[in-house]
Chains A and B, each alone.
Chain A
Amino acid sequence: MGEPAQRLEPANKPPQEETISPWKEAWRKFRKNKIALVGTSIVFFFILVAIFAPLIAPQGINEQDLPNRLQPPSADFWFGTDDFGRDIFSRVVFGARLSLTVGFLAVVGSAIVGSMLGIIAGYYGKWVDTIISRIFDIMLAFPSILLAIAVVSILGPSLRNALIAIAIINIPNFGRLIRSRVLSVKEEEYIMAAKAIGMSDSRILFSHVLPNSMTPIIVQGSLAIATAILEAAALGFLGLGAQIPEPEWGAMLAASRALLVQAPWTLFFPGLAIMLAVLGFNLMGDGLRDALDPKMKT
């Protein structure tokens, strides 16, 4: 009997409508995507491993235990030991710090520079757009790893320079994405209104255009971290990134190549770590794309 009474609303109060913000809606979609959740769990697992590496790793990264060299995986040495008796598990755990840091910083760097260039190109158009877009075209004309090799061969091999190289090669991906977004956003009425009330270009760009172009940056960013980790490992493997004895996963693979017959575990675990970390970011990125910007799917 109470039901009809509940339906009675005061005449001046509009009926309550459930409004969901786009972010909440995206989160709802993301939460339903099991594969994306698996990816996110893998990513968080690696982030936790990187943060708590000193607590998780039983040994230091360069702690040598020569009597226990080339030990296969066991209860004492979960991932075995290398030819210096160093604990592979500890090195893989600390390697998560290097790989995640390189992936994250390289992508943040390329996202910032790429977005700035993309916004400037898209907003100002004309010759500014032509020049910036042609630079992007030229950079994209190189297979990415080759461009990274070119940059590192100029700067010299090191983990820092590999990070810079990866950041540079990813700039056009962000730049192009944001440029096309800006081209559509700048035709919106609220941008015209902002112009009409005399708002400065920089304020329009940073208060309106950039926030409205954030979704593709987030999606592209999470997918780009996966590629960046893979590229950093590839450069490390080629001797152009992290240098021995840094426990970077790619450099660990390069250092242990000669041990393939004797001690395959020295190669198995660092490679598995690369694959899982990349898989995690890829799955999470796919999920974010589906939830935030399904139009990006090609």
Chain B
Amino acid sequence: MNMLQYIIRRLLQLIPVLLGMTFIVFLIIRAIPGDPALVILGQQATEDAVAALRESLGLDEPWYVQYFQYLGNLLTGDLGESIRTRTPVNEEIWPYLATTFELSIFAIVIAVIVGVNAGIISAWFQNSWFDYTAMVLALVGVSMPIFWLGLMMQYQFSLQWDWFPTTGRENVRDPVNAITNLYLIDTLIQGRFDQFVVVLKHLVMPGIALATIPMAIIARMTRSSMLEVMKSDYIRTARAKGEKMFWVVYKHSLKNAIIPVLTVIGLQTGLLLGGAILTETIFGLPGVGRYIYEGISSRDYPVIQSGILIVAFIFVMINLIVDILYSVIDPRIRYN
């Protein structure tokens, strides 16, 4: 089976999963006990308003008709309309998605750089004080409630030491002129390095909070994977040839130890996207997690539905890409 066939097969396998996902998301409104329109609008709503919402959500139709209508709408890119803002969800969600994307990429970069290096050094100097400290920290990191860590960081680094801003994404008095909505890129494109630093400062605390658990898992995984590889014959040969230890570790060992680490990185994206809801809520970042959270607070079900569906869709796609990447990086992994 060649690469193209493998990708096509994986895409075909995705179809039932995606259909199932849309069905679960479809159920979010339809499975509400009682009259969903009344639940959304609250007990004080007039009968006319409830009837109008029932009609606009298509609740009077049989469920299967509703589901196929919903699917049809999704295929045309119609994600419904926010009850609160009266704006189509697909129009208003993009800036939120960009925020989450920027935060997640920033967090995964921190997690990979710190996690992989901590794992390597721990394996290199096995049973040293660094190894023990890093692994104890990793154990604690895996168990960390990131919403609590975020609050504690806000207290210490923002309120006590004033190193970083407490909440938000930019200096509200000097807002970023959004082009891609990825502010780090936008500020660079416009040559506003002062704003770039401000945006970066806003990202540091939420980025570290979100990176904590993946960082800890990556560090543990890299360490055990490196320890295994460093025992192999070709590493001994490299060392016997007089290769410097630094190159043995970073060139020879890491190349082979990185594959299981990649698996973990792929698996962590789900955790990261889920964690983004909590991180964005704490740090007041207008990301998709906060968008869903606000949807929940105002019982804006189309927003909750679409937000969850989009995040789950991204998660599935990232996992697919990671799966394909394995086979590119490691030719030993067969497509079938």
Q: A238-B293, A282-B139 are in contact. Are A145 and B274 (CB under 8 A)?
A: yes
Residues in A whose Cβ lies below 8 Å from that of B311:
143, 146
Q: Are B21 and A138 in contact (CB under 8 A)?
A: yes
- B258 CB, min distance to chain A CBs, angstroms: 15
> Which of the listed residues B148, B151, B316 has the most CB atoms from chain A within 10 Å of its own CB?
B148
1/0 per position for B155-166, CB-CB distance to A under 8 A? 100010000000
Comparing A10-18, A75-83, A89-97, A272-280, the segment that makes contact with chain B is A272-280
Report the separation of the CA atoms of residues A298 and B225 in the bound assembly, to the nearest whole angstrom.
Answer: 10
Residues in A whose Cβ lies below 8 Å from that of B273:
143, 146
Which chain B residue has the least Cβ–Cβ distance from A230?
A: B145
Residues in A whose Cβ lies below 8 Å from that of B25:
150
Report the separation of the CA atoms of residues A27 and B275 in the bound assembly, to the nearest whole angstrom.
Answer: 36
Question: With an 8 A cutoff between CB atoms, is A48 at the interface?
Answer: no
Comparing B45-53, B67-75, B106-114, B296-304, the segment that makes contact with chain A is B296-304
Question: With an 8 A cutoff between CB atoms, is B154 at the interface?
Answer: yes
Question: With an 8 A cutoff between CB atoms, is B278 at the interface?
Answer: yes
- Please tell me the number of chain B residues within 8 Å of chain A, measured between CB atoms: 45
Comparing A60-68, A187-195, A256-264, the segment that makes contact with chain B is A256-264
Q: Are B21 and A275 in contact (CB under 8 A)?
A: no
Question: With an 8 A cutoff between CB atoms, is B42 at the interface?
Answer: no
Report the separation of the CA atoms of residues A187 and B261 in the bound assembly, to the nearest whole angstrom.
Answer: 33
Residues in A whose Cβ lies below 8 Å from that of B143:
226, 230, 275, 278-279, 282
Comparing B26-34, B185-193, B199-207, B246-254, the segment that makes contact with chain A is B26-34
Partner of A275, one of B28, B33, B144, B301: B144
Interface residues of A toward B: which range? 35 or more
Q: Are B152 and A271 in contact (CB under 8 A)?
A: yes
Q: A142-B24, A149-B277 are in contact. Are A154 and B316 (CB under 8 A)?
A: no
Residues in B whose Cβ lies below 8 Å from that of A153:
28, 296, 301, 304
Q: Are A268 and B316 in contact (CB under 8 A)?
A: no
Question: With an 8 A cutoff between CB atoms, is B291 at the interface?
Answer: no
Question: With an 8 A cutoff between CB atoms, is A144 at the interface?
Answer: yes
> Which of the listed residues A35, A134, A153, A267 has the most CB atoms from chain B within 10 Å of its own CB?
A153
Which chain A residue has the least Cβ–Cβ distance from B14?
A: A141
Q: A253-B148, A271-B148 are in contact. Are A142 and B312 (CB under 8 A)?
A: yes
Q: A143-B312, A260-B155 are in contact. Are A237 and B296 (CB under 8 A)?
A: no
Q: A267-B148, A271-B152 are in contact. Are A141 and B296 (CB under 8 A)?
A: no
Residues in B whose Cβ lies below 8 Å from that of A150:
24-25, 28, 304, 308
Question: With an 8 A cutoff between CB atoms, is A85 at the interface?
Answer: no
Total A-B residue pairs with C-beta atoms closer than 8 Å? 129
Q: Are B312 and A141 in contact (CB under 8 A)?
A: yes
Question: With an 8 A cutoff between CB atoms, is B140 at the interface?
Answer: yes
Tell me the interface secondary structure of chain A in the complex. Answer: helix
Which chain A residues in 129-185 approach chain B with CB under 8 Å? Answer: 134-135, 137-139, 141-147, 149-150, 153-156
Which chain B residue has the least Cβ–Cβ distance from A240?
A: B296
Which chain A residue has the least Cβ–Cβ distance from B151?
A: A267
Residues in B whose Cβ lies below 8 Å from that of A272:
148
Question: With an 8 A cutoff between CB atoms, is B315 at the interface?
Answer: yes
Residues in B whose Cβ lies below 8 Å from that of A268:
152
Q: Are B148 and A275 in contact (CB under 8 A)?
A: yes
Q: Are A260 and B277 in contact (CB under 8 A)?
A: no
Q: Are B28 and A238 in contact (CB under 8 A)?
A: no
Q: Are B151 and A257 in contact (CB under 8 A)?
A: yes
Which chain B residue has the least Cβ–Cβ distance from A134?
A: B16
Which chain B residues in 274-307 approach chain A with CB under 8 Å? Answer: 274-275, 277-278, 281, 292-293, 296-297, 301, 304
Question: With an 8 A cutoff between CB atoms, is B58 at the interface?
Answer: no
Q: A146-B312, A260-B155 are in contact. Are A138 and B20 (CB under 8 A)?
A: yes
Question: With an 8 A cutoff between CB atoms, is B17 at the interface?
Answer: yes
Q: Are B17 and A143 in contact (CB under 8 A)?
A: no
Which chain A residue has the least Cβ–Cβ distance from B20?
A: A138
Question: With an 8 A cutoff between CB atoms, is B142 at the interface?
Answer: yes
Residues in B whose Cβ lies below 8 Å from that of A107:
none
Question: With an 8 A cutoff between CB atoms, is A73 at the interface?
Answer: no
Question: With an 8 A cutoff between CB atoms, is B178 at the interface?
Answer: no
B binding-site residues for A, Cβ under 8 Å: 16-17, 20-21, 24-25, 27-28, 31-33, 139-140, 142-145, 147-149, 151-152, 154-155, 159, 260, 270-271, 273-275, 277-278, 281, 292-293, 296-297, 301, 304, 308, 311-312, 315-316
A binding-site residues for B, Cβ under 8 Å: 35, 134-135, 137-139, 141-147, 149-150, 153-156, 226, 230, 233-234, 237-240, 250, 253, 257, 260-261, 264, 267-268, 270-272, 274-275, 278-279, 282-283, 298
A-B interface, 3 closest residue pairs, ranked by CB to CB distance from nearest: A271-B148, A138-B20, A143-B274
Given contacts A142-B270, A237-B278, 10 further A-B contacts (CB under 8 A): A135-B20, A137-B16, A141-B312, A142-B308, A226-B143, A250-B147, A267-B148, A267-B155, A274-B148, A275-B143
Q: List 15 A-B contacts (CB under 8 A).
A: A137-B17, A138-B21, A141-B17, A143-B270, A144-B274, A145-B277, A149-B296, A153-B304, A154-B28, A230-B143, A239-B296, A239-B297, A257-B151, A264-B152, A271-B149
